[in-house]
């Protein structure tokens, strides 16, 4: 059995772009951001309509981005997440594309109410059958990931399990109080690389059986395994921040 296919030129985008984000649904494709031929970071966007075979410019994103991700939501909006912006800075922010009502191939972008837990670019974004969006992988800048809340046992230890922190080197952990006080490794706590055990140190500033936030420091990472679930704001929740109400 021989299977063949054909590719046919169908026209041009409104302008050249690389590392743009693309999301498709219902015969429409949103193409947004990226880099132009001179390496400038773009905020421009366009909609390609398969029914008429034309790409039409729509409103600009709220932030120029490249290496970001886009995914259509069940209500027709598009969630745009992360990426890098002018100067190469990584973004954790999100925004939404709202299709025009009653005006074909139009729309506007609105900044999101919340962002990702980790700034990243080159990641994947996939929506489940409902509303949750899985954000996975990508690259990240140097910095600190906030991590999660843990409580020291009566014996003064916390056992970090595989997957608690997305780093192969638990000696890079950062321990903070729930109010943001940064504790000092070697004075307030110690970390055993081999076992992943964080221990209280006698005379340190961390109270017995305290709850703490444990994150980690990292250098710029070409790739990360960290995943997160993003719950997009509903249209009703966004109503108060939309231009014009």
The Cα–Cα gap between 83 and 22 comes to 13
N-terminal to C-terminal alpha carbon distance within the chain: 58
Tokens at residue 7, please? 């590719």
Angle at 117 (CA atoms; ends 112, 121), nearest 5 degrees: 80
User: Do residues 172 and 58 both lie within one domain?
Assistant: no
Question: Which run of H or E residues covers position 166?
Answer: none
How much is the pLDDT for 135? Answer: 94
Give percent of the chain above pLDDT 90: 53
pLDDT at 168: 46
pLDDT at 163: 60
Pair 234, 131 in one domain: yes
Write the pLDDT tens digit of every residue in 3-36.
Answer: 667 777 777 888 899 999 999 888 889 999 999 9
What is the mean pLDDT of the segment spanning 186-199?
89
Dist. CA 245–CA 241, nearest whole Å: 7
Total of domains in the chain: 2
**pLDDT for position 64:** 98
Angle (CA) 55-75-102 rounded to 5° is 55
Does residue 199 sit in the same domain as residue 159?
yes
The tens digit of pLDDT for each residue in 133-175 reads: 999 988 887 766 667 889 999 999 999 876 665 554 555 788 9
Tokens representing residue 203 in the block: 């005379």
Contacts of 82 (CB under 8 A, 6+ apart): 65, 67, 68, 69, 90, 91, 92, 93, 94, 116, 119, 120, 121, 123, 135, 138
Q: From CA 58, how far away is CA 32, in angstroms rounded? A: 9
pLDDT digits (tens, 9 = 90+) for 203-223: 999 999 999 988 877 666 667
187 belongs to a structural domain: yes
Label residue 63 by pLDDT band (50, 70, 90): very high
Pairwise CA distance, residues 80 & 73, whole Å: 10
pLDDT greater than 60 at residue 65: yes
pLDDT at position 212: 93
Neighbours of 162 (CB within 10 A): 6
Average of per-residue pLDDT across 41-49: 95
- CB contact set of 197 (below 8 Å; sequence gap of 6+): 157, 158, 159, 160, 191
Average confidence (pLDDT) over 65-94: 95
Are 30 and 130 found together in one domain?
A: yes
CATH code assigned at 42: 2.120.10.80
Residue 245 has pLDDT above 60, yes or no: no
Q: Does residue 241 have a pLDDT over 70?
A: no
Indicate if 64 and 91 belong to the same structural domain.
Answer: yes
| Structural domain contains residue 15 | no
pTM value?
A: 0.68
Closest C-alpha to 151, from 214, 98, 205, 195: 214
């Amino acid at each position: 059995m021989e299977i063949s296919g054909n590719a046919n030129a169908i026209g041009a985008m409104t302008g050249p772009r690389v590392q743009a984000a693309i999301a498709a649904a219902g015969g429409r494709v949103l193409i947004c951001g990226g880099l132009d031929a001179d390496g400038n970071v773009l905020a421009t966007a366009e909609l390609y309509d398969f029914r008429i075979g034309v790409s039409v410019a729509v409103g600009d994103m709220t932030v120029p981005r490249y290496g970001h991700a886009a995914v259509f939501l069940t209500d027709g909006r598009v969630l745009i997440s992360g990426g890098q912006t002018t100067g190469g800075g990584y973004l954790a922010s999100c925004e939404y594309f709202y299709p025009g009502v009653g005006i074909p191939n139009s729309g506007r972008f609105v900044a999101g109410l919340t962002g990702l837990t980790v700034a990243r670019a080159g990641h994947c974004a996939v929506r489940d059958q409902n509303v949750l969006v899985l954000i996975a992988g990508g690259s990240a800048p140097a910095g600190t990931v906030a991590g999660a809340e843990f409580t020291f046992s009566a014996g003064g230890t916390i056992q970090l399990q595989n997957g608690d922190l997305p780093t192969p080197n638990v000696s890079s952990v950062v321990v903070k109080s729930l109010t943001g006080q940064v504790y000092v490794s070697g004075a307030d706590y110690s970390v055993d690389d081999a076992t992943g055990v964080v221990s209280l140190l006698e005379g340190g500033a961390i109270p017995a059986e305290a709850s703490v936030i444990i994150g980690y420091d990292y250098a710029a990472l070409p790739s990360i395994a960290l995943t997160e679930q993003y719950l997009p704001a509903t249209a009703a929740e966004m109503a108060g921040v939309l231009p014009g109400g």
